[in-house]
A and B are shown apart, each in its own frame.
Chain A
């Protein structure tokens, strides 16, 4: 039964996740790393929504709600950590934070 465009939607989720991963690996600014993590979480939620639409069950949307919760708490904690790092190192370069107990 041809319900939703399953394969293109999953490909879109894959592309968005790969773009977020590239952003995490390439960018060295903490703000951009946080944004890329948000993009990756969003792509994961898209995959769950595609699955929910394919099988007509609500479970995928429930998992999407939990991913939203996770993303919100992650961005709050990441923001606080970035503020601390900026306060201590006076930079946003993630290569500068290379010392434990530094």
Chain B
């Protein structure tokens, strides 16, 4: 478990360094996905499987897809097709693929080994999170819904360029 934690943590740091030093947006996004997956595995080794699933679904799923949309939308142009062909050469995929493969092997080893977690590790179940969320934190849930509504209206208003 400790080895899994340190492996995932080093992959997270390495891929994050590669994110902020990459010159190309798409390459940085590939490493960003690897970094978020590594952090999700760190969550799993810390006994927070629910948060790990949410990290993969929301961060590595939704938010990175939005960023990919942004990068692809902003690079429209005559040279975009040529540039995209240059981006997607096979050697670009080697780095993220190796890191993801290490993460995958680590996850498989964690899932197949029956001792999920050190015996002293407290595993927080999704039931506990749900009970806390809709018990003492119900006001914060309402505030989060208002925040999401404000973000929805604001994004619609800002992205609507035909108005003025």
Chain A positions near chain B (C-beta within 8 angstroms)? 1-5, 8-9, 12, 15-16, 19-20, 22-23, 26-27, 29, 31-32, 34-36, 38-39, 42, 45-46, 49-50, 52-53, 56-59, 61-62, 64-66, 68-77, 79-84, 86-87, 92
Of B55, B121, B124, most buried by chain A (CB within 10 Å of CB) is: B124
A86 to chain B, nearest CB (A): 6
Please, how many angstroms separate the alpha-carbon atoms of A45 and B161 in the complex?
34
- Interface segment among B35-43, B82-90, B92-100, B101-109: the answer is B35-43
**Which residue of B is nearest A5, CB measured?**
B5
Taking CB atoms, residues of chain B closer than 8 Å to A16 are 12-13, 16, 39
Taking CB atoms, residues of chain A closer than 8 Å to B32 are 35, 38-39
B interface, how many residues as a size bin? 35 or more
B48 within 8 A of A: yes
20 A-B pairs within 8 Å (CB atoms) are namely: A9-B42, A16-B39, A23-B20, A26-B20, A32-B25, A34-B67, A35-B28, A35-B32, A39-B32, A59-B132, A64-B51, A69-B144, A69-B148, A72-B58, A72-B148, A73-B151, A75-B66, A84-B161, A87-B161, A92-B74
Taking CB atoms, residues of chain B closer than 8 Å to A86 are 74
Taking CB atoms, residues of chain A closer than 8 Å to B70 are 31, 34, 79, 82-83
